[in-house]
C-alpha cells in the first residue's frame, strides 16, 4: 500500500509512503483488486492492464483536497465509460470489496483505451481501401 503524505500507518499490511512507478506497476499487475484515489493517473494504470479499479476520490470535506474535482471526474468516468467503481461513502468500501466480482459484472463497461479503438477503426478503413 502507498500512503503518500498521510500520517496514517496501516497495521494490517505492508506500506510505503511512496512506491516507484515500476514497483507500482508490478503490484497492480499482480493484484486481483486495485483500490485507488480519484486522480486519473492512479486509476488509469489498472485500466491499462484490463482491471476495474475501485476509486475512492479524495474529498474537500475531509481536507484531503482543495475541492471535489476527483469526485466530479470519477463520477463522469463511471457514467460515461462504466469501467471504474466509485466509492463515495467510505463506509461502503468493505461491501464493494467483498462484492467486487458482482459489482464489476454490473458495469458492462469498456476498458479498452481510445487509442486501441482508434487503431482498430483505422485498420478497418485501411483494409477497406485495398
pLDDT above 80: residue 98:
yes
**Residue 111 pLDDT more than 70?**
no
93, 62, 59, 100 alpha-carbon torsion, rounded to 10°: 0
Q: What is the residue extent of each domain of the chain?
A: 31-129
- What average pLDDT score do residues 74-81 get? 93
Residue 69: what pLDDT? 84
* pLDDT score of 115: 66
Task: Give the model's pLDDT for residue 120.
Answer: 84
pLDDT of 110 over the 70 cut? no
Task: Tell whether the model's pLDDT for residue 117 goes beyond 80.
Answer: no
DSSP state letters, 41-64: HHHHHHHHTT---EE----GGGTS
So what's the pLDDT on residue 109?
65
**Separation CA 19–CA 85 (nearest Å):** 23
- What is the pLDDT averaged over residues 65-84? 90
- Report the pLDDT value the prediction gives residue 58, as an integer from 0 to 100: 83
Q: Is the pLDDT of residue 72 over 80?
A: yes
pLDDT band at 102 (very low <50, low <70, confident <90, very high): very high
Cα–Cα–Cα angle for 123, 41, 93, rounded to 5 degrees = 115
pLDDT above 90: residue 114: no
The CB density around residue 43, as the number of other CB atoms within 10 Å, is 28
Query: At a CB cut-off of 8 Å and minimum separation 6, what does 128 contact?
Result: none
Amino acid at each position: 500500500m502507498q500512503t503518500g503524505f498521510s500520517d496514517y500507518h496501516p497495521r494490517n499490511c505492508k506500506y510505503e509512503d511512496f512506491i516507484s512507478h515500476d514497483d507500482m506497476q508490478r503490484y497492480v499487475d499482480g493484484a486481483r483488486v486495485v483500490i485507488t484515489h480519484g486522480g486519473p493517473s492512479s486509476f488509469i494504470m489498472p485500466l491499462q492492464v484490463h482491471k476495474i479499479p475501485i476509486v475512492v476520490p479524495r474529498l474537500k470535506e475531509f481536507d484531503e483536497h482543495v475541492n471535489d474535482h476527483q469526485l466530479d471526474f470519477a463520477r463522469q468516468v463511471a457514467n460515461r465509460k462504466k469501467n471504474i467503481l466509485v466509492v463515495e461513502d467510505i463506509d461502503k468500501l468493505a461491501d464493494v470489496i467483498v462484492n467486487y466480482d458482482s459489482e464489476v459484472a454490473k458495469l458492462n463497461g469498456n476498458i479498452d483505451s481510445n487509442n486501441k479503438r482508434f487503431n482498430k477503426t483505422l485498420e478497418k478503413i485501411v483494409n477497406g481501401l485495398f
